[in-house]
Amino acid sequence: MAQVQPGTLVERWAQKRSASAALSQRARNVFPSGVTHDGRYMEPYPIYVTHAQGSRKWDADGNEYVDYWSGHGALLLGHNYPSVCEATVAQSRRGTHYGACHELEVEWGEAVQKIVPSAEKVKFFSSGTEATLMAMRLARAFTGKDKILKIQGHFHGWHDYATIAMEPPYDEPVSRGIPRSVRESILSVPFKDVAAIRATLDANPDIGGLIILCNAAGTEYLQQVRDLTRERGVVLIFDEVVTGFRYAPGGCQEYYGVTPDLTTLAKILAGGLPGGAVAGRADILSLLEFRNDPQWMRFGRIRHPGTYNANPLSAAAGVACLEVVRDGAIQRKATETADKLRAEFRSVFARHGVEGEAGGEVSLLSLGFPGAKVKGRGLHDRFRMAMQLNGVDFDGSKLIVSAVHDDADIARTLDALDNTITLLKDEGVL
């Protein structure tokens, strides 16, 4: 564990987080680097949260935070939204795993069909990583072509295929342990470069699918991608694990008015519990069907078990959550709050004379400091630490705004940012 230097931001932060320090020390004896998710790693150690409610959460030392992690984006309705909480608790008393089909999974799938434009059929999983893995497999199986095209820098989970083209150099994975054959099956192009997509598709007739994040993509670009893939018989996959139900009830495809062949979903889908899905064309998802045909069963279909697929607890939370988010009012409320924060953040940056950026779309607020003297993780950790010291928690580069963040949260967040900029300037970070 890193040494705390006296008189620094780190020391001030650590003085009120001794319980988190002790838990972190225990965790380092159990987990590599002491964390169970890469995004939770922080120097000198992360905070440990004991409980949360609405837009707030509390750590093991009793410190209260306005929470902009929002369950890694899963909690559009905030922590313990009444109807989702009640449905989950009620279902937990009835059973968490039946090892059988149940009515709630049907209701959950029907809700997705009603809300998501591309959802002719639905298949549930336990995470977004599983969903993108299956979407790529469906694209390859449906077209009979082995390669997938993706956009450079886009994140689609941690499975082998998703590790390619995430960071420069884009032809190398971001993880060790990825077979060379997997690397050769993924091609990539820059974001918003339609000419590059066209050229790559023309030069590689063995591309079966194109997977893309829709954040900040725009209707014109997505429509051009839609037209190119349709012309060439390439399966278009929108990864809406983050944007699904957030940009609009039907996700980016509703917001931008462009419908893909397949959509991957997670996060908000299950109301904060584990859950993912692929939704899309019935003819493509028919590859998962059982048939009274030995040849099909052995060589034609895609097999898909999964112990926790559409488990009753996740289904109960998902049904309750989708019932709330389906009319659009929740999305509008979260976006209005994020827009207020963007405008006020820019005012704070200007007042302090720092080169700061507050961007993003809808309720996803991105932050950047192009002129910062410290870069990368060092900047993110110090920025996050200073905000935590002032009662706000986020991941260091973006705020995920929920529909329950209110004016009091905005005021506290702006005070925190104001104090944070001062602290970071004094530390020589900005």
Same domain for 310 and 339? no
Q: 149: alpha, beta or left, given left = phi > 0 and alpha = psi -120 to 50? A: beta
What's the domain range around 55? 9-78+329-426
Grouped pLDDT means (10 residues each) for the chain, 430 residues? 62 95 97 94 95 98 98 97 98 97 98 98 98 98 98 97 96 95 96 98 97 95 98 98 98 98 98 97 98 97 96 98 97 98 97 95 96 89 95 95 98 97 92
In a domain, 375, yes or no: yes
Residue 3 lies in a domain: no
Tokens of 3: 């040494």
Tokens linked to 38: 């890469």
Q: Are residues 302 and 361 part of one domain?
A: no
What integer pLDDT is reported at residue 304 of this predicted model? 96
- The pair of three-digit structure tokens given for residue 90, joined into one six-digit string: 């009620």
Residue 32 located in a structural domain: yes
Q: What is the dihedral of CA 409, 42, 212, 306, to 10 degrees?
A: -100
Residue 388 covered by a domain: yes
Residue 371 lies in a domain: yes
In this structure, are 351 and 316 located in the same domain?
no
- Which of 325, 343, 360 is the C-terminal boundary of a domain? 325
Report the domain count for the chain: 2
Which residues are 230's β-sheet partners?
A: none
Q: Is there a domain that residue 70 lies in? A: yes
Residue 154 sits in a domain of what CATH number?
3.40.640.10
Domain end: 291, 308, 325, which one? 325
318 is a domain residue: yes
- Look at strands 64-67 and 392-393 and give their pairing: parallel
Residues 259 and 319 in one domain: yes
Q: Are residues 281 and 420 in the same domain?
A: no
Last residue of one domain, picked from the residues 325, 356, 383: 325
Residue 360, domain CATH: 3.90.1150.10
Residue type at 204 in one-letter notation: N
Alpha-carbon distance of 189 to 179, in angstroms, equals 21
Query: Tokens 């580069």 correspond to what residue?
Result: 397
- Smallest CA-to-CA distance from 364 within 221, 217, 166 is with 217
Q: Please, which residues have CB within 8 angstroms of residue 396's CB and are 6 or more apart in sequence?
A: 379, 380, 381, 383, 384
3-state SS, 358-390, equals EECCCCEEEEECCCCCCCHHHHHHHHHHHHHHC
Do 266 and 117 lie in a common domain?
yes
Question: Would you tell me the crossing angle of helices 82-94 and 312-325 to the nearest 10 degrees?
Answer: 160
Rg (CA), the chain: 22
How far, in whole angstroms, is CA 416 from its chain's centroid? Answer: 25
As a whole number of angstroms, the distance between CA 384 and CA 288 comes to: 44
Strand partners, 125: 276
Predicted confidence at residue 377, as pLDDT, reads: 87
Residue in the structure block whose two tokens are 């750590």: 59
- The answer on 139 and 197 residing in a single domain is yes
- pLDDT attached to residue 6: 54
Peptide bond into 44 cis (omega under 30): yes
Q: Do 199 and 302 have their domain in common?
A: yes
> Judging by DSSP bridges, how do beta strands 357-359 and 364-368 pair with one another?
antiparallel
- φ, ψ for residue 393, nearest 5 deg: -125, 135
Residue 419 is assigned to a structural domain of this protein: yes
Taking the complete model, does pTM exceed 0.85, yes or no? yes
| Residues 305 and 186 reside in one and the same domain | yes
DSSP helix/strand/coil, 123: strand
Neighbours of 79 (CB within 10 A): 20
Look at residues 382, 406, 384 and name the one whose alpha carbon lies nearest to residue 395: 384
378 alpha-carbon distance from chain centroid: 23
Residues 255 and 333 in one domain: no
